[in-house]
């Protein structure tokens, strides 16, 4: 007997796709990277200042350690290899004078995944300054968590202040909140002074705000004096760090969270979620990562060279763009700048540029310089701001040149980072109207 095949099952859009994912675009940083690659494939000249990827090579000893551990094939504990967690504890003691035990550490496939899991495990509002890294808010949106944006001032590095946090908490003092502090910051390059952290910690303690301290750029704070929020608010701070930025190993996908004893329940909840999702981080990567967190003279020399090169580039970016009319906060670490061109609004409006999306699109079309619009970081769409990452150069030769004593003035920077210098010069001339 011939059977009639069943009608195909049709689901409503709300059933087919989690309602919180509908309309959610690709991460802005990944989108601009793919757009830049597509334009280059078409033969266009593109200066890739969109994706914030470290330009420096993974240190040689780490690469050798990875090769030596390529045979490691076993599933490792969900929390991470014990030896690695012990190395991370040593790293936190050495760099921040903070005492942790291996059981306080959770290793994950990059801090991005761990940030998602902590929002899933902790039910509370997400509090972030505007501007903030592009994935904090979308992760909260996916999970259906309320988002509160903290207003910032350029005089304070576009970062959190104790006063702004106190005002926010005053509306509902007992409300559960998770606040992210990022220092040095993406997209601004700001780095919080100990006094600022102490003030923020006092307010967070008064209102029982849980703080996630994103310290992924701590190793490339230019003065080498990165201070963790956990030194000021020990019982309420989770430290987030990894290998992607200060060790040049973004593609290795290894990060960690360090929890105070008082938040063991949250670590356990996240570990349970991890066991049902990614299981554990790649075994060879974990074994090799011990070398990075154990440190050594070669690692310190690598970090010192990275800071020297990035600080010189940050100074050039700030000087050149400020001279063209932009307003920037002081850049103290990392490899980002967040210029605001509101002072040039009338001049840019005469060219049909009245919002950040148009600003970046026209700049890419006219100059080949790829950047990200301020709206991707939580700024108003009408604000003429953008983020640039001054990383379009080969960091290996740059480190060698810096070690050899090359003067990192404009001529020296043009030798080691020609694309960055050319891109910034084009941007400055373009916004000033010299290349309109």
Q: Give the model's pLDDT for residue 39.
A: 80
* Strands 255-258 vs 237-242: parallel, antiparallel or unpaired: antiparallel
- State the DSSP string of 146-210: -EEEEP--GGGTT---HHHHHHHHHTSTTS-EEEEEESS-TTT-----HHHHHHHHHHHHHTT-E
383 contacts 340 by C-beta, under 8 angstroms:
yes
Query: Helix or strand or coil: residue 227?
Result: coil
Q: Give the model's pLDDT for residue 4.
A: 52
Q: Give the model's pLDDT for residue 18.
A: 56
CB under 8 Å to 89, separation ≥6 — which residues?
99, 100, 101, 102, 104, 105
The DSSP output letter for 83 is H
Query: Which of 258, 130, 115 has its CA nearest to residue 190?
Result: 130
What is the distance between the alpha carbons of residues 112 and 216, in angstroms, rounded to a whole number?
11
Tell me the per-residue pLDDT of 152-199, one tens digit each, with 9 for 90 and over.
Answer: 999 888 999 999 999 999 988 889 999 999 999 999 999 999 999 999
90 contacts 282 by C-beta, under 8 angstroms:
no
What is the distance between the alpha carbons of residues 236 and 225, in angstroms, rounded to a whole number?
22
Query: Which of 128, 122, 85, 127 has its CA nearest to residue 104?
Result: 85
Pick the CATH number of 28-56+298-431 from 3.40.50.300, 3.90.1150.10, 3.40.50.970, 3.40.50.720: 3.90.1150.10
The DSSP output letter for 329 is P
Query: Helix or strand or coil: residue 5?
Result: coil
pLDDT mean values, one per 10 residues, the chain (436 residues) = 48 47 59 76 90 94 98 97 98 98 98 97 94 93 93 90 94 93 96 96 96 98 97 97 95 97 97 96 98 97 97 98 96 97 96 94 93 94 96 97 94 97 97 71
What is the distance between the alpha carbons of residues 254 and 275, in angstroms, rounded to a whole number?
16
Q: Give the model's pLDDT for residue 8.
A: 44
Which residues make up the CATH 3.40.640.10 domain(s) of the chain?
Answer: 66-295
* Tokens standing for residue 397: 């030769």
Q: Give the model's pLDDT for residue 16.
A: 43
Which residues make up the CATH 3.90.1150.10 domain(s) of the chain?
Answer: 28-56+298-431
CA atoms within a 13 Å half-sphere pointing along the CA-CB vector of 219: 27
What is the distance between the alpha carbons of residues 98 and 227, in angstroms, rounded to a whole number?
11
Strand (E) or helix (H) holding 308: helix 297-323
Q: Give the model's pLDDT for residue 13.
A: 43
Does the structural domain 66-295 have CATH classification 3.40.640.10? yes
Burial class (CB in 10 A: 0-12, 13-18, 19+), 340: buried
Q: Give the model's pLDDT for residue 41.
A: 86
What is the distance between the alpha carbons of residues 211 and 229, in angstroms, rounded to a whole number?
8
Q: Which residue has the tokens 């790829």?
A: 370
Q: Give the model's pLDDT for residue 21.
A: 52
Query: Helix or strand or coil: residue 341?
Result: coil
CB under 8 Å to 316, separation ≥6 — which residues?
410, 413, 421, 424
* Strands 372-373 vs 105-108: parallel, antiparallel or unpaired: unpaired
Q: Give the model's pLDDT for residue 9.
A: 41
Q: Give the model's pLDDT for residue 6.
A: 47
* Tokens standing for residue 393: 């150069």
Query: Helix or strand or coil: residue 211?
Result: strand
* Tokens standing for residue 229: 């929020």
């Amino acid at each position: 007997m011939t059977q009639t095949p069943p009608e195909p099952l049709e689901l409503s859009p709300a059933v087919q796709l989690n309602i919180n994912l509908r309309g959610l675009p690709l991460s802005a940083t990944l989108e601009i990277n793919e757009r830049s690659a597509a334009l280059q494939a078409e033969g266009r000249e593109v200066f890739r200042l969109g994706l914030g990827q470290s330009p420096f090579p993974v240190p040689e000893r780490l690469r050798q350690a990875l090769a030596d551990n390529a045979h490691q094939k076993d599933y490792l504990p969900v929390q991470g290899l014990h030896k690695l967690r012990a190395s991370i504890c040593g790293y936190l003691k050495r760099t921040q004078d903070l005492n942790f035990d291996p059981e306080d550490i959770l290793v994950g496939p990059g801090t991005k995944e761990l940030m998602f899991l902590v929002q899933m495990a902790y039910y509370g509002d997400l509090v972030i300054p505007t501007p903030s890294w592009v994935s904090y808010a979308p992760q909260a949106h996916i999970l259906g968590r309320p988002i509160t944006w903290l207003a910032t001032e350029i005089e304070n590095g576009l970062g959190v202040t104790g006063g702004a946090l106190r005002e926010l908490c005053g509306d509902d003092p007992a409300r559960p909140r998770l606040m992210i502090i990022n220092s040095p910051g993406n997209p601004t390059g700001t780095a919080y002074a100990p006094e600022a952290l102490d003030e923020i910690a006092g307010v967070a303690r008064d209102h029982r705000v849980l703080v996630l301290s994103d310290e992924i750029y701590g190793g490339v704070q230019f003065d080498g004096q990165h201070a963790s929020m956990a030194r000021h608010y020990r019982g309420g701070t989770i430290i987030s760090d990894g290998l992607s930025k200060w060790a040049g190993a973004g593609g290795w996908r290894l990060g960690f969270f360090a929890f105070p004893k008082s938040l063991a329940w949250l670590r356990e909840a996240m570990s349970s979620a991890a066991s049902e999702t990614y299981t554990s981080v790649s075994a060879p990567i974990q074994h090799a990562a011990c070398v990075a967190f154990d440190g050594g003279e070669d690692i310190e020399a690598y970090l010192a060279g990275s800071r020297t090169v990035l600080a010189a580039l940050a100074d050039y970016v700030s000087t050149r763009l400020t001279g063209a009319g932009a307003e920037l906060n002081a850049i103290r670490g990392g490899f980002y700048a967040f210029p605001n061109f509101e002072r040039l609004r009338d001049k840019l409006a005469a060219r049909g540029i009245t919002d950040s999306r148009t600003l970046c699109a026209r700049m890419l079309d006219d100059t080949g310089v790829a950047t990200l619009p301020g709206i991707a970081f939580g700024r108003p769409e009408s604000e003429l701001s953008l983020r640039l990452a001054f990383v379009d150069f080969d960091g290996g030769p740059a480190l060698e040149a810096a070690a050899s004593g090359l003067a990192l003035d404009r001529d020296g920077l043009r030798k080691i980072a020609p694309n960055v210098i050319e891109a910034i010069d084009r941007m400055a001339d373009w916004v000033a109207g010299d290349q309109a």
